[in-house]
A and B are shown apart, each in its own frame.
Chain A
Amino acid sequence: MSEWFSNALIRAQDLTGLVDQQWMDPVRTKAITQLKNTAWPNRKTEAWRYTPLRSVERTTASVKSTENDLSQLAPVVIPGIEPIEVVFIDGRYCAALSSGELPEGLSIVLGSKLEARDELLDKLSAIKPERHLFGMLNDALAQDVVWIKVGCGVSIDTPIRISNLSSQSAESHVKAFVSLEEGAQATILEMADAEGQTLSTGFTEYDLAKNARLEHYRFALQTGDNVSVGGSHFKLEEGAQLNSNIIGFGSDLQRLDTDIIYAGENANAKLNAIYLLDGKELFDLHATVEHAVPNCVTEENIRGIVADRARAVFNGRIHIHRDAQKTLAELNNRNLLLSDKAEINTKPELEIYADDVRCAHGATVAEIDKKALYYLQTRGISRAKAQVMLNFGFINELIDQMPNEVIAEWVRPMIRSRFEQMEVK
């Protein structure tokens, strides 16, 4: 049992009964009880097999009690987009930086300000699987919850951005719940930014009602000695559609869990994820798809490039339940290692209990395509430059698939400059 973990439990206990926190007690106490029966992970814990939690155990980050100096922190500007902002600073909702005026059919409310708190409490933590230790910690320690709700048949064209900003040495726990009612459409972008040694858990649950459509982006671009464990968890009702795009740069510890749970037929999801790691960074992505009902379609493309002494972990599980006939599910994971100190551990899993399904997964770890490298060289391009081009191309294929071109345009140069840094070494 780590000291940090036991302290966290004590701190969670201290939050129960506080005036502004009391309403969350049902969720919090349940989590505390579960956590007390949960062992702190070690190397033998399958979900943490390749990802040691030393940087959590040794963190110097702590929860900030004072008001933040807002001038220091602000969500990054994405040229061409003025998102509807939902901003958390050091784990607390920041009304000053969040959007006030909202389009019709969209509501964004802080849980504690809700009249119908019980409705939110019922929904909260029902999608996120219980097995996730840090998900439970987030339940136990989060102090604010934001509920983003898109009304029936409403289409919100402007992307909604949930920002998790951390100041120096801050510990934060961010929690959001998103519901898209029947036929609703929205684009949601989750981003985190942190300075210095920080520790953050950020969990967002998405409830997609019948025929709802969600375009989702989660960018974990904070590097350095930031420690971040979080998740995006989706429940899809009949005919719902999800297009999720994840980009991860590693840090001291960067762990992301995504779960897609089909609750209604004829829903579909596409998950594209990219990880680009350098230095001593670590990135760990666990993606689980639960096909609990028939006739749903999943497509997953996961690509990563790992340089220097960095380590990447990918676990992609597709679970086809007994009744989930006519499921189509495909997962493809491709990796490039750029250095002999870099490491990739990948585990695509299929667990299938229905016979009339088409499922496949593939995983490769390879070096750069030598034929392509030669081809570029015969056109006068230097080996080093050709390598950068090919690496970029490998990743760019997935960026090209992002449905929002403005976001894709914004991402591309960041990826490119990351490659250029990676190649310099």
Chain B
Amino acid sequence: MSNENVLLSIKDLHASVEEKNIIKGLNLEIKPGEVHAIMGPNGAGKSTLGYVLSGREGYEVDSGSVSLGGEDLFDMETEERARAGLFLAFQYPVEIPGVSNLEFLKASVDATREANGEEAITSADFLKQAKEACKKVNLPVSFLKRGVNEGFSGGEKKRNELMQMLLLKPKLCILDETDSGLDIDALQVVAEGVNSQRSDERSFIVVTHYQRLLDYIKPDYVHVLSDGKIVKSGDASLALELEAQGYSWLQTEPAEDELEG
């Protein structure tokens, strides 16, 4: 069944949170190297998609299938999905006081290496890599010693996410509203970081409410998510169209009827 040219294949996915259906029949195929933007109004299920794909507790898959590199994603634990190359950059990364960023990063890199049959990286080598990654995302090296995201500003948290991406070298990156809470300078830094990671082997799902981010990260495809389904797909120009018209045109006719009635 597996198609060599497809990295991620989502087929008729239905998922719910606390017994409420959020994703209602979603289909999507992503090939290596592609950048897909998913846009949509608040409550469309954009963030839920990232959580369902990464395997967050409480996000139940009701039906449908998802494969990553030909493997059934739902057969894997959260951490196994990560090791298989799925990376979720969080909208609001959690703070973990007491666990140093360096310890955390090394543990995650080692876990992925071990899963790929590689040996654990030496501390010295890792420190070198981590310092380089810090430089790339414009974070002071001192951040490696601090608690994970502890006391980081919004922009610093996003850059810390990006640094993890650099070190883990995932196959599929889901950027969940990475632009939220960032000023234009911070946005540019993050976008540059992402762009530097684009390659034939790495695909992206860029989840965003605004077109703004897509000025910096040019997508190959744009999908509009509404009420748990992709209602429209197109190229980058669709994003501009949405920017001009907003999401209100997506409202289904019956809703308006109800209003009048």
Contacts and interface: CB of A to CB of B under 8 A. Distances in A.
Interface of A: 369-372, 374-383, 385-386, 389-390, 392-397, 400
Contact of B96 (A372, A382, A383, A385): A372
Interface in B49-70: 54-57
Contacts of B107: 376, 379, 381, 385, 389
Contact of A380 (B96, B97, B99, B115): B115
Contact of A376 (B77, B90, B108, B112): B108
Contact of B99 (A370, A378, A396): A396
Interface in B67-104: 77-79, 81-83, 87-88, 90, 93-94, 96-99, 103-104
B111 interface: yes
A370 B94 CA distance: 10
Contacts of A381: 79, 104, 107-108, 111
A370 B55 CA distance: 13
B147 A397 contact: yes
B168 interface: yes
A385 B54 CA distance: 18
Interface residues of B, number: 30
Given A380-B108, A381-B107, A381-B108, A389 B99 contact: yes
A380 B94 contact: no
A352 to B, nearest CB: 30
Contacts of A394: 98
B164 interface: yes
B98 A380 contact: no
A56 to B, nearest CB: 35
A376 B95 CA distance: 11
Given A385-B111, A389-B104, A393-B147, A379 B82 contact: yes
A374 B111 CA distance: 15
B103 A389 contact: yes
A378 B82 contact: yes
11 contacts: A369-B94, A374-B78, A377-B55, A377-B79, A377-B82, A378-B79, A378-B82, A390-B96, A393-B96, A397-B97, A397-B98
A202 to B, nearest CB: 30
B190 to A, nearest CB: 18
Contacts of B148: 375
Q: Which of A377, A380, A393, A400 has the most CB of B within 10 A?
A: A380
Contacts, number: 82
Q: Which of A372, A375, A378, A390 has the most CB of B within 10 A?
A: A378
Interface of B: 54-57, 77-79, 81-83, 87-88, 90, 93-94, 96-99, 103-104, 107-108, 111-112, 115, 147-148, 164, 168
A393 B99 CA distance: 4
B99 A392 contact: yes
A390 B98 CA distance: 8
A369 B97 CA distance: 11
The 5 closest A-B CB pairs, nearest first, are: A393-B98, A393-B99, A379-B108, A397-B98, A377-B78
A376 B56 CA distance: 11
Nearest to B170: A380
Contacts of A374: 56-57, 78
Nearest to B114: A380
A370 B57 contact: yes
Nearest to B150: A397
A379 B78 CA distance: 9
Nearest to A375: B94
B82 to A, nearest CB: 4
Contacts of B104: 376, 379, 381, 389
B99 to A, nearest CB: 3
B57 to A, nearest CB: 6
Given A380-B108, A380-B115, A385-B107, A392 B79 contact: no
A379 B112 CA distance: 8
Given A379-B104, A380-B111, A372 B94 contact: yes
Contacts of B82: 377-380
B111 A375 contact: no
Contacts of A383: 77-79
Contacts of A377: 55, 77-79, 82
B182 to A, nearest CB: 20
A378 B164 CA distance: 11
A383 B111 CA distance: 11
Given A378-B88, A381-B107, A389-B107, 11 more contacts: A372-B96, A376-B107, A379-B104, A379-B108, A379-B111, A380-B112, A383-B79, A393-B99, A394-B98, A396-B99, A397-B97
Contacts of B87: 378
Contacts of A385: 107, 111
Contacts of A369: 94, 96
A108 B98 CA distance: 38
Contacts of A379: 79, 82, 104, 107-108, 111, 164, 168
A145 B112 CA distance: 57
A370 B103 CA distance: 19
Nearest to B88: A378
Contact of B90 (A375, A382, A389, A392): A375
Contact of B83 (A370, A375, A380, A396): A380
B241 to A, nearest CB: 33
Nearest to A396: B98
A372 B97 CA distance: 10
Nearest to B51: A374
Contacts of B90: 375
Contacts of B78: 374, 377-378, 383
